[in-house]
Amino acid sequence: MTKRNPITILVLLLAVSIGHGADSPQKDIRLVVPFEPGGAGDTTSRIIVEAANNILDGRKISVVNRSGGGGIVGQTFVSRARADGYTILAMTNSVITNPTLKGASYSIDDFEPIAIYNFDPDVIAVAADSEFASVDDFIATAKTREPNMVTAGIATAHHMVGLAIEQNTDLTFNYLPVRGFGNQLQTVMGNHADGGFWPLGEAASHARGGSIRILAIAAETRDDAFPDVPTFQESGLGVPVWATFRGWAVPAGTPAEVVTFLSDLLAEVHASAEYRRKMEAAGYKPVYQNAREFQKAIADYKNLTNTVIAAHGLGN
């Protein structure tokens, strides 16, 4: 009788329980959002989970918020989880920079990308009653003093975009890290800061509602929803594109069959017209990019931020 390696048996069991071609997972899945409830990662994750749970048969995905350390707490938790597909990370750019800038114990190689579901360009936003009626007003003031700019935290993508502007212009900023987008919004609307570096998806609904004003967007072209708002490049900020990616990742070593199952699940979610409608209504443009495309986005962002990190002497 031929003896099977225990690892081989485990992989076969996983493939049966959750892998490609299986009817459904054999237990519930947790999607770890490493940020506070109410932010972009949390909001988009809940929209995705609602759609995914309509597809899965008998089991469900639940959102679990494990915030702290600019994402490090939740990201570390997933990096150490069993590589079986039942613990998924709602992954953003901070996974790439946190090890360098904050000494996180994991590296990007500790995660297996599944797919991207959203790209979200950064914006400069101010209160609706701000003295800055345009990005030109903002730049003119920034040449005389450092604007106080709210960010989600030091070394986040939204802090890094400010550093990128500094690197490419003669402007400098004073950064105010504030935990949770709701708190950041209140800080800006209360005129306790000059503005915020935020993802468009979080800022859009408030701009449409009239509580804040978007001055510029870090995208290749103007956004259809805000046609009068110039791009960073048009504004002379020296940053052509700066965007947060959002996607799913699992611990490295997760079997290929499991990764394929989850990737296919996200593709099926993206195919849902109702899902896309809800994402767009919330201010987030839905996309689907597979694991190979996700790997390229990771490499591109790593190269981009390494330049900024080196220029500003950051990192451990």
Give the pLDDT score at 314: 79
Q: Please provide the DSSP assignment of 209-230 as one string.
A: HTSEEEEEE-SSS--TT-TTSP
Give the pLDDT score at 155: 74
Give the pLDDT score at 39: 86
Give the pLDDT score at 21: 42
Distance of CA 67 to the CA centre of its chain: 14
Full 3-state SS string of the chain: CCCCCHHHHHHHHHHHHHCCCCCCCCCCEEEEECCCCCCHHHHHHHHHHHHHHHHCCCCCEEEEECCCHHHHHHHHHHHCCCCCCCEEEEECCHHHHHHHHHCCCCCHHHEEEEEEEEEEEEEEEEECCCCCCCHHHHHHHHCCCCCEEEECCCCCHHHHHHHHHHHHCCCCCEEEECCCHHHHHHHHHCCCCCEEEEEHHHHHHHHHHCCEEEEEECCCCCCCCCCCCCECCCCCCCCCCCEEEEEEEEECCCCHHHHHHHHHHHHHHHCCHHHHHHHHHCCCCEEEECHHHHHHHHHHHHHHHHHHHHHCCCCC
Give the pLDDT score at 22: 46
Domain limits of the chain? 6-119+244-311, 121-217
**For the whole model, what pTM was predicted?**
0.77
Give the pLDDT score at 234: 97
Give the pLDDT score at 24: 59
Task: Tell me the CATH number of domain 121-217, given options 3.40.190.10, 3.40.50.2300, 2.40.30.30, 3.40.50.880.
Answer: 3.40.190.10
CB 105 within 8 A of CB 76: yes
CB 126 within 8 A of CB 215: yes
Give the pLDDT score at 4: 45
- 3-state class of 286 per DSSP? strand
> What's the CATH number for 6-119+244-311?
3.40.190.150
Q: How far apart are the first and last CA of the chain?
A: 54
Distance CA 96, CA 3 (A): 41
DSSP state of 231: B
Residue length of the chain: 316
| pLDDT (tens place) for every residue of the chain, 316 residues total | 444 444 443 444 444 444 444 445 889 999 999 998 988 899 999 999 999 999 998 889 999 999 998 899 999 999 999 999 999 999 999 999 999 888 999 999 999 999 999 999 999 999 999 999 999 999 999 999 999 999 988 778 899 899 999 999 999 999 999 988 899 999 999 999 999 999 998 899 999 999 999 999 999 899 999 999 999 999 999 998 899 899 999 999 999 999 999 999 999 999 999 999 999 998 899 999 999 999 999 998 898 888 888 888 877 6
Fold match flag (6-119+244-311 vs 121-217): yes
Distance CA 269, CA 275 (A): 7
